[in-house]
Each structure stands twice: as structure tokens, then as C-alpha cells.
Structure 1
Amino acid sequence: MRVLIVDDENGKVVEIAGVLEESGVGRDNIVVVTTAAAALKELRNTYFDLLIIDMFLPHRIGEAPNLTGGEELLKRIHRGADVAPPEYIFGLTANADAMEHSRGVFADHSWHLEEVSPTKTGWKLKLMEKVRYLRAREEFTAADAAGSTEVKLPRCDLLIVCALQDPELSEFFRAANSTWEVVTYSGDPHLYRRSELSLGNARISAMALCLPQMGLVSAGVSVAKALALFRPLVVAMPGICAGRRGDCDLGDAIGANLTWDYGSGKFTEMGGEVVFEAAPFQAAASAKVVAILTELASDVELIEEIYRESPGYRPSEMPSFHIGPMASGAAVQNHKEFFTGVASQQRKILGIDMEAFAVAWASHEALEPQPHWLIIKSVVDFADGTKDSKIQRFGSYFSAKLILKAVARLFNGGADTQPRSTH
């Protein structure tokens, strides 16, 4: 595949090219220009699969960058019969005004527009996923033309699912302390990581997946597909959540023994007022998982060891590990009365997030044999408007370590969770 980069900031171009090469695009297939006019000339002469464009761009050499430089180029591409439109356009800018100015154009065409800064690096994963998807399509099309589209997929013992690339997945990788290979499969837009983990006496083949976006729908679809492809024995989700104030402290971990969609139900009118009548279907963790969670929660020495060895910031008090219900919903909650309302659905509720129920339900509905699902998340806020960004990285690492300990116990006991590599 061929990629055209239109950007006049050399440092950013180097970063973009690095992501492209890591995604399998050869240097000979990457063209870089610095102005809108030069880009238009390239697009007249060559077809590009992907256009990566800075929206704060000079029209011509010698001119200063301006807010309309990138947008005018996009309009010219669409209205000109002399230009071959790229299959996909990916916008990147370090200019906040240009970002806001161009947001509507990108939204109208369902393209990515990402802000670039020293603290905002999520664009790299999204760009990598898009490149991998385009390359997978290219490979699939070539195989189809040759009359062979058979795709061989590996089985794995463990599927790790994270909602956020950073800090959840990045801290899981740190906690696992192993080498992860980026892998893709023809026809599948997702980016996966593959590794072999040594946990206790077990050698475990693992795949890791970061969701394309937060929420129940994204989690349900992505996990269901991964389960069908890789047929794991265990699905595990570390990460961060909101906890119920008074029952949890910041930094505490919650192992979910029960989960449901707290938005499931109906709105009805009663006495002239609209009332929500909840009708949740609850998914329960397996007895084997609950037993292991119970063991971990009582292992104070282990919890203290993880706490003491956690890198960077950590709370002043050693966190606790709770076992209890965790509800999921499609929207971020940020008001102090939330837990009061949702507690009517399950009075022992400890935490809420946006994905746990979808992961559990996808596992429940998977092809036989259904995998065990294991969800441990750390409390980083109370869904009441209070925030402490420092705790998020600690919470992601703490939950990841607990997940790894739980997985080790799952795979070192029981016939239904014997790693396939030992068969």
C-alpha cells in the first residue's frame, strides 16, 4: 500500500513514518510533502491508499501554515475529477484551533482527526490499526484474486481485553513483563498482541485486545469476534472503574462476581412523570472464578507485595481487594446521586464501568466450551464528579497484577483450564 504524508513539521513526520514502518509499510511506499500544492500534484499523478494530513498547513512553499490549508486540500480532492481520492484520510494536528476548525469536515466523512502532543499519543495506535486494516484488505483481495482466501488463526489460552490503550493496556504489559508481538489477520480490522506467559507452572498462550472505543457495544462486538476467532479458555479484563463511596477507597480493586447492564429496562409514565423501570439480566462469574477471587482477597501478603512493588505513584494506604457486583452502562457517570439510584437494582453493588457486562455476556454466549470470564478493576473515582488522575496508572497496574495472579491459579488447577500448550 502507498501512503502520502502532508505535513511541514519534521519531528511529527518522523513519528508518523515510524508508526507506518512498524505497521509493515515499506519506506519506498511512503511519500512526504510539506504543502497543499505539492500534495495535490502527487495525488494527480499517483493513487494513494492512505492520506495523512496536518490541518494546519501552508498552501505553497514560502507561505505560513494556516487553519484552512488542510481543509482546502480536502475540498479540492473531492471536487476535482483530475484527482484520485485516497481510500482513507487520517488527520493529525498539533494546533488546537485547526483541530476545532476541521472537526466537522472529518465527522461528516467518518474520518479520524487526532490531536498530537507530547501527552497525547493515542493517535499512534489508531493510525496503526487503520494501516493494519488497509493492509489486511489488500492481502485479502490479493488472496481472493489468486483463488485462496483461507485464513489460519491461532488458538489461545487467555484473551486479555482492555478498554483503554493507556493506561490500562500499557500497564498490563508492564505488569506482565513479557514480549508482545503485534499481529493482524486478513479481513479483520483489529490489532492484536500475542505473547507466551509463564505463570506458575503453566505456559500460557495469550492474546491482548484494546477496544476501538469505550462502551458496551464496542466491547460486546469486539470480544464476541475475538472469542470466535481464538477460542480462549479464559477472558480477563483488568482496568479502572468507579467505586461506591463508603464501601471502597481510591485504589481498591473490585473482582466482579456479578455484572449487568444498569440501563436495561423501559421508561414509562406514572402519575404524569416519566419513570425508569429497570429490568436487568445479570451474568454471574463461575464458581471457580469466585473461589479464586476469594483466595486472592484474603491473601494480604500478596496484596501488600503488589502495592509495595508498584512503580510510580501509589496511594498512601495499602488498597483492599473486594469481591462484589459491578454494573455497566453506556454513559460515563459523574453525579453524586448515581449509586443511590442504581443500588435499587442490586443493593450490594460496589462498582460501575462501561464494558464488564458486555465481556461477561459475550463469554456466556460464546461457542462451547464457553470461556471463564474474569474481571478485576481498580477504583479511580466515585462517579460523583471527584477525580484524581494520578491514581489511574496505579489502578491499572494493580488490577493487572491481580488479574495475572488469578489467571495463574486458574491455569494451574482444573481440567477445563489446562493450557493447550501442555496437551
Structure 2
Amino acid sequence: MVKILVTEDNVAKLEEIINFLRSKNSGNLEILVATNLVEFSQKLGEDIDICIIDVRIPAYTGAEAEKNGLGIIQHLKSSPNPHIKLIAISSFPDEFEDIRSKFERNGCILANFHEKDVWQNALEILIMQSAANTKKDFLIFTALRKERAPYTSFPELNGKAVSSDGITRYDVEIGEKCGSVIELPRMGLVDAAVTAGKYIELYSPKLVAMSGICAGFDGKAEMGQLLVSELAYEYQSGKWSGDGFKSEPYQIPVSEGLRSKILHLIEEEGNVSNFEIGWNGNRPSTMSEPKMVTFTSGSAVIADAAHMDHVQQFHRRVSGLDMEIYAIHRAAHLSIYKPDVICAKVVVDLADKSKDDRIQEYGCFVSSRFIIKAIERYFQPNA
């Protein structure tokens, strides 16, 4: 669906623009109208794809039309969605010499309303470009094929494998929202950061998630426990010198609003059993309640208790260790879209020599079930 906001106060001009848009409407256009700046502010949203701007428009109902078009552009360029396509259609071409550079410098096409073919052709191109840019409400990243596998086994997601943009994604539906499950090319911070950054910019999701398996710190997490990140950092950042390694971890928390939602979901579910529905394989020997924790990430696999003790010294509350979560948090934090982040992984080892693969598939299954439930809750109104 391509959403278009038309700012125009002249009834005849507005009618002609809307009639043209409707002639191009194959069921994939939504048209909003603002006749003054107040209505523009009320109807502007992050999901606007194209804004058609009137150079002269009133500030409020009953006011005289003034040159407020540039103000609209400047407001749009500072909005949460700076990729809105802009076209200004003016009935006053004599003013173009004075304003053209200001509009075009801000990425706005300036068209003469009396040259119908010109503005209609330009608008048609913008509609085609917007329709080609597929948006996703959410993205789910996994580092391993076994972590992606549960999503392909849930028929209620109406999943479909799609090969495009240089990667095979698995498009799914959760409630009324559409998203994709994307498997990273390789494990680790670098691939996670690059891949997440690329697809966040491409699909501009409101929510980014990750599920899978991780290691836990002995005494802070239990085997088979579902851990959800409330803060993530990289344990490898810092400086090596003659005195050894001095850590300088950069920490990225989830938003307080999201943290509250996840805590409420965890408390409401009570235990992990609701996320096990449909599972028939190995289970942990003891069951532990899900909890929100601090995660730390690094590119190396750790299988040594002494090294885990060293990593644990950086943050007294750290409970989970993996190779990607910090990168997912960081990619979302640096994005112009600033999506929320939910990362959930199940502890399948304590990063010592006695690794056990028996509950890895269980961990992939339970964490994916939790992510699906969390996404449902995230998009519920007033949740």
C-alpha cells in the first residue's frame, strides 16, 4: 500500500490531483488530504510514502494562503521517515525562480500545475518507486539455519520463501502485520551488524527481533532458560596494553516502554510452558522462568570457564553470552528509523568444556515462539 498525503487548499486543484491519483489506483493507494498546516501535522505519519505539497497553503482553517510549502518540506526532512518522496505542484510558476533552489536542495520536485503532463508523469514515477519499495512491519534475524527452522514449520505464519536483494528471506504474517525472517550469511558480530543494518534501511521496520540459542553465565542463568535482552554490550571492545586488556564496553539498552511490555508479557505467561506448545523433543532437566537480562556479545566461541569468568567481570549483572545480539541492538540504534529491538535466546550451555547439543533445537523452538508472541503483543493497540 502506497500512502499519499496531499496538502492543498484550492478545491478545483485538489480535485484534479485526486482524480489523477484515483485513475492510477489499482487498490494499492491510500490518499490523505490536508488543507492547512494544522491538518498536515495531524495527518503526517511515519508511514507516508509521498507528500504532494502546495507552495501556498494556509496555516489554519480560515487563514490566508501563504508561502508555507518550504516549511512543510523542512518539517518532513526532520521527521522519523526522511525517505518520504516530495513533489510541490504550484499554480504560480512566476515564483519558481526565487524558490526552486530551496525546494530542489531538499529533494523536492517543483512542478507547474498548468503543465499537466509534467506533474502527472513525475507523480506517476514517484508512485511506481514507492510501490517497489516493500516495507516490513518487523524483521526477525537468526544466525543459524536451525534457529530459522521453527518459523518455517508454523503454518499459522503463512510463510513463503523469497529470494531477492541478495538473500533468501522467509516472509511471514503475525496477526495483521507482515515481516521477514532473515538468516545471517555467517555467525558473528560483523555479519549481524552489516546484514541487520542493510535490511533495516531497506524495509524500514518498526520492530527488529532475534531468536536462537546462547550460552549462560553459571549462577546467573540456568540450562534451558529463556533470556530476553534488556541491555547489550560487546565484551571485546577496549584496549590491549602491557598491563593486559582494559574493557570499554558500549552499552545499548532497550527503550523503557518496550522493557515494560516485555516484562508484562513474561509475568503474564508465568513460565515457559506456553512457549513449548507443539514441542515433542528433548527438554531441559529442570524448568526455569524466562527473564530479562544483560547480554554480552563477541565474535569468538567460548568453551572455557576461566574465560567466561574474565568476561563476567565487565558487568556484574550479565547473564547471557552470544555472538550477535549487541550487533542487532547497535544496527537498530544507528538506523534513521530507530526500530525497537527484542532479542530472545535460550541457554543451551554454560560455555565450558561440557557442551551439550541435546536441547539446541528446543531452544530454537521456544525462543521463536516467544518472539512471535512478543511481536503480537508489541503491535496490539494500547498494549
Conserved? CA contact 1:243–1:379, under 8 Å: yes
TM-fit CA distance, 1:335: 0.1
Question: In 1, Cα distance between the equivalents of 2:163 and 2:277?
Answer: 37
2:223 paired residue number: 250
Structure 1 position 295 matched with structure 2 position 264: yes
Conserved? CA contact 2:162–2:171, under 8 Å: yes
2:369 paired residue number: 401
Structure 1 position 164 matched with structure 2 position 144: yes
2:159 paired residue number: 180
Question: In 1, Cα distance between the equivalents of 2:304 and 2:343?
Answer: 24
Spell out, residue by residue over 1:268-326, the C-alpha distance to the aligned partner (whole angstroms, 9 max, x if none): 113xxxx0011111010111221122123323545223236423221233232121100
Question: In 2, Cα distance between the equivalents of 1:327 and 1:224?
Answer: 19
1:167-316 correspondence to structure 2 within 5 Å: 168-175=147-154, 177-185=156-164, 188-198=165-175, 203-270=176-243, 275-301=244-270, 303-307=272-276, 309-316=278-285
Q: Which amino acid aligns with 2:305?
A: K
1:49-64 correspondence to structure 2 within 5 Å: none
Question: In 2, Cα distance between the equivalents of 1:153 and 1:181?
Answer: 18
2:78 paired residue number: none
Structure 1 position 359 matched with structure 2 position 336: no
Question: In 1, Cα distance between the equivalents of 2:282 and 2:156?
Answer: 19
1:24-103 correspondence to structure 2 within 5 Å: none
Structure 1 position 371 matched with structure 2 position 339: yes
Structure 1 position 349 matched with structure 2 position 321: no
The 1:204–1:323 alpha-carbon spacing in structure 2 relative to 1, beyond 3 Å, is same
1:321-336 correspondence to structure 2 within 5 Å: 321-336=290-305
TM-fit CA distance, 1:409: 1.2
The 1:228–1:300 alpha-carbon spacing in structure 2 relative to 1, beyond 3 Å, is closer
Q: Which amino acid aligns with 2:148?
A: L
Question: In 2, Cα distance between the equivalents of 1:367 and 1:233?
Answer: 11
Q: Which amino acid aligns with 1:342?
A: V
TM-fit CA distance, 1:223: 0.6
Question: In 1, Cα distance between the equivalents of 2:339 and 2:211?
Answer: 16
3-state SS of paired residue (1:196) = strand
Conserved? CA contact 2:226–2:272, under 8 Å: no
Conserved? CA contact 1:254–1:351, under 8 Å: yes
Q: Which amino acid aligns with 2:334?
A: E
TM-fit CA distance, 1:338: 2.4
TM-score, normalised relative to structure 2:
0.63
3-state SS of paired residue (1:326) = strand
Spell out, residue by residue over 1:147-167, the C-alpha distance to the aligned partner (whole angstroms, 9 max, x if none): x9999231010101000011x
Question: In 2, Cα distance between the equivalents of 1:221 and 1:206?
Answer: 19
Question: In 2, Cα distance between the equivalents of 1:182 and 1:175?
Answer: 13
3-state SS of paired residue (2:314) = coil
- Give 1 or 2 for the bigger CA radius of gyration: 2
TM-fit CA distance, 1:242: 0.1
Conserved? CA contact 1:172–1:396, under 8 Å: no
TM-fit CA distance, 1:364: 0.3
3-state SS of paired residue (1:191) = strand
TM-fit CA distance, 1:236: 0.5
Question: In 1, Cα distance between the equivalents of 2:273 and 2:326?
Answer: 29
Question: In 2, Cα distance between the equivalents of 1:194 and 1:400?
Answer: 15
1:152 paired residue number: 132
TM-fit CA distance, 1:234: 0.3
The 1:175–1:394 alpha-carbon spacing in structure 2 relative to 1, beyond 3 Å, is farther
Conserved? CA contact 1:310–1:397, under 8 Å: yes
Structure 1 position 382 matched with structure 2 position 350: yes
Question: In 2, Cα distance between the equivalents of 1:390 and 1:205?
Answer: 33
The alignment-based identity, stated in percent, is: 30
Question: In 2, Cα distance between the equivalents of 1:213 and 1:152?
Answer: 28
The 1:324–1:176 alpha-carbon spacing in structure 2 relative to 1, beyond 3 Å, is farther
